[in-house]
Structure 1
Amino acid sequence: MAEAEDRTEAPSQQRLQKARDDGQIVLSREAMSFIVLLAGILGVFTLLPFLVTDFVRSMQSLMANAGTVSMVQDGLLAATEHSIVAGLKLALPVAGLVTALTLAAGFLQTGFLIHPASLLPKMSRVSPMAGLTRILGGGTLPDTFKAVIKLLIFTAVLWHLAKGIIPDARSMTGLTTAAILTKIAHLGFSGAISMALAQLVIAGGDIFWMRFRHTAKLKMSREELKEEYRNTEGDPHIKGQLKALRARRVKQRMMEAVKNATVVVTNPTHYSVALVYEKGKSSAPRIVAKGMDDLAARIRETAQDHRIPVVSNPPLARALFPLPLESEIPAEHFKVVAAIIAYVWKLKRPGSRNIPAE
């Protein structure tokens, strides 16, 4: 109970997708019942009027020739086959319409999901103990409540229909057969539409309830959300450690690159950018190390320790610092950098460390 109370967070997209993959979807049986009822009404009142004429003619022909049908096997077989074909011509179009609309409604509710595992037999579905546990555990109470509400709604609708049908039935006295049939068809259509509208209201409420219960079952606790995040995105602590490790390795590589740099351009204190240019091998000087504040100081110290010239040129250092490592300097800085490198090459004193920029 405590665990259920802790599940106050809406289910994540990953949990919803996992539930869908496992066949846990929102499928309203009341919505399916509405579609079946609606399809039946459409079939009976739209298709049957065009089909019943041929059926009646076939039956009239069969009854008119009933006395002449041979009672031997061939005669009975032909008459039976004729009756079955006539019945199928009448029933199959309506049944086909009902089936097609029912399948379409099911696929629309499930998002065209087909889950073969849900079709496999499960002992829990046929186990008396499992069924008794579900009943005693209170899991069927919502379904019982829905059934009672549905019964009350249909009772109210039928009572309303009955109050209107009784006076109409009294007025049929003395009418012709065709008029009586027309009246019955009208009353049947009105009653079917009323029942369909009642079922539509029930289906709407059931869809809302099923979605609410589905979401409630999939709610998560804060710990579950954190665990899911760690499993999908990675542990934040580990990610931080990996990021720090990568940063240390980048710094180590830069410090090694500074030892072979051609020159280090500084701000002079906030930025340091180490450049390498190999005459005849490089088309332009390349940035091999850069740093800010403490890292800039370490680059300057490493350069001084390995007798790499350090040149103070704040505008150039600020312009080169945003560029990525291992990239060549832009053409607009060629002239300034070329002058610095040319000056460095002319140095004859091996112990020179700090060189003023010109």
Structure 2
Amino acid sequence: MAESEEKPYAPSARRLEQAREEGNVLFSREAISAAMLLVAVLMMVAFVPASAARQGAILRGLMLHAGDGDLSPQLAMRVSLRAALTFFLPFGGAVATFALAIGLLQTGFLFRLSALAPDPGRLSPMKGLSRILGASALMDALKSIGKCAAFGAIMFWQARSLLHESASLIGYSLPILLARLMHAIVQVGAALLCAQIVFAGIDILWNWQRRVSKLRMTLQEVKEEYRQMEGDPHIKGRLKQMRARLARQRMMEAVKTATVVVTNPTHYAVALMYDQKSPSAPRIVAKGVDDVAARIRDLARRNNVPIMPNPPLARALFPLPLDTEIPIEHFRIVAAIIAQVWRIKRGMNR
């Protein structure tokens, strides 16, 4: 609570990005453990039975030819080693690859060579003591105790189930016994996976809360960041471009509902909006020159907005700001143009 009172403001997007560049990212080892366990269970279901059958056939062949003179101990060792590698390498490779992928996804593929440099601050006894006695260490201890209890209960439950079933398996062939053992291993793996997913979720929420709490900002930090952003010419340039782009988008949307577009006819285009129910004069809702004028004309044609060529009026209205009413000296000519537009629309509706 004291920390939130000292830093009452949530971290800004810029502060979060700076923290990421410094290597401060949301990272959960429990999520990696869950991913590894998931791949292990999937490999047990999809890969191990067929691979175990192949390796078993190889070992049976070695045992059948153990007394042959052509089968030397060196050859038998090489065949056994190759069989073991073809069994364990795909399994271990899949688990390691998926664990690495989850780790990279959590960090957003962030690589920092500076993290490999020695940091004398890590050797500080006080910092080491704070890590040992801090909230993170307490949380790690609670997670370890919880995992030991949950995993122990799962293993005990499965062992007791196998013991109760063992008497009924007497007399069955080896393949049936191995299949039952594989089924039990997959059951245990699935139960452990469910428990690990729960611990991973808790760990992710805890790490997220801790990271956000440490990155919270004081009022002074918020003001300082705002001043830096306002003073940064690149930030100001991007903000200016963004505002200009949004203004153009709003302007082009206004063309679709304009009353008339007055043109030069090729260089200038000024869109006017007039509401008969309003006492206000017609307003300028869009304007442009050259390419922008061409876009305004094209948008007007596609939305059935009348286009009226009037070079003097277009040139006179173009310098005026958007969303302003036309000056009184142009009332007569604009009224005549709008009246002509209404006549054309009435003629089209007959």
Q: Same fold (TM over 0.5)?
A: yes
Specify the structure having the higher radius of gyration (Cα). Answer: 1
2:150 is the counterpart of 1:153: yes
Relative distance call for 1:162 and 1:128 in structure 2 (3 A) is farther
State the match for 1:115 in structure 2: 112
1:52 alignment partner in structure 2:
52
Residues 70 and 76 in structure 1, CA contact (< 8 A), matched pair in contact too:
no
Question: Tell me, what secondary structure is at the counterpart of 1:58?
Answer: helix
Contact 2:39–2:95 under 8 Å retained in 1: yes
Corresponding position: 1:183 with 2:180: yes
Whether contact under 8 Å (2:32, 2:99) holds in the other structure is yes
Q: Which residue of 2 aligns with 1:82?
A: 79
Identity of aligned residues (%): 40
Task: Show the counterpart of 1:20.
Answer: 20
2:204 to 204, 207, 215: 207
Q: For residues 144 and 34 of structure 1, do their structure 2 counterparts lie closer, same or farther at Cα, with a shift above 3 Å needed?
A: same
TM-score scaled to structure 1, two decimals?
A: 0.59
The residue type paired with residue 21 of structure 1 is E
Q: Distance in 2 between matches of 1:59 and 1:125?
A: 52
Does the CA-based 8 Å contact 1:40-1:94 persist in structure 2? Answer: yes
Query: Could you tell me the TM-score, scaled by structure 2's length?
Result: 0.60
Query: Contact 1:34–1:203 (CA<8 Å) still a contact in 2?
Result: yes
Give the partner amino acid of 1:45: V
1:47-84 deviation digits (Å, cap 9, x = unpaired): 1222223222322333334444689xxx5554433332
Equivalent of residue 143 in structure 1, options 136, 140, 143: 140
Q: Following superposition of structure 1 onto structure 2, how do residues 57-76 of structure 1 map, counting pairs within 5 Å? A: 57-68=57-68
8 Å Cα contact 2:44/2:186 also seen in 1: no
1:201-240 equivalence runs, <5 A: 201-234=198-231
How far apart, CA to CA, are the structure 2 residues paired with 1:82 and 1:183?
28
Structure 2 alignment gaps of length 5 or more: 237-315, 322-326, 331-350
Distance 1:123 1:160, change over 3 A: farther
Q: 1:45 to 1:139 in 2, by over 3 A?
A: closer
How far residue 229 of structure 1 moved from its aligned partner, in angstroms, is: 0.8
CA distances 1:232-266 after superposition (whole Å, capped 9, x unpaired) = 1139xxx9xxxxxxxxxxxxxxxxxxxxxxxxxxx
Contact map agreement 1:157 1:198 (CA 8 A) in 2: no
Instruction: Note the alpha carbon deviations across 1:95-119, whole angstroms, 9 max, x for none.
Output: 2211222122122222222223224
Please state how far the C-alpha of 1:226 moved relative to its aligned partner: 0.7
Structure 1 alignment gaps of length 5 or more: 240-318, 325-329, 334-358
Q: Residues 124 and 131 of structure 1 are in contact (CA less than 8 Å); yes or no, is this contact kept in structure 2?
A: no
- Give the aligned residue type for 2:44: V
How far has the Cα of 1:38 moved from its partner? Answer: 1.1
Aligned mates of 1:213, 1:167 — CA distance in 2? 46
- 2:38 matched residue in structure 1: 38
Residues 192-203 of structure 1: pairs in structure 2 closer than 5 A:
192-203=189-200
Distance 1:208 1:18 in 2: 21
CA contact 2:4–2:213 (8 Å) conserved in 1: no
The one-letter code matched in structure 1 to 2:98 is L
1:265 corresponding residue in structure 2: none
Structure 2 residue aligned with 1:98: 95
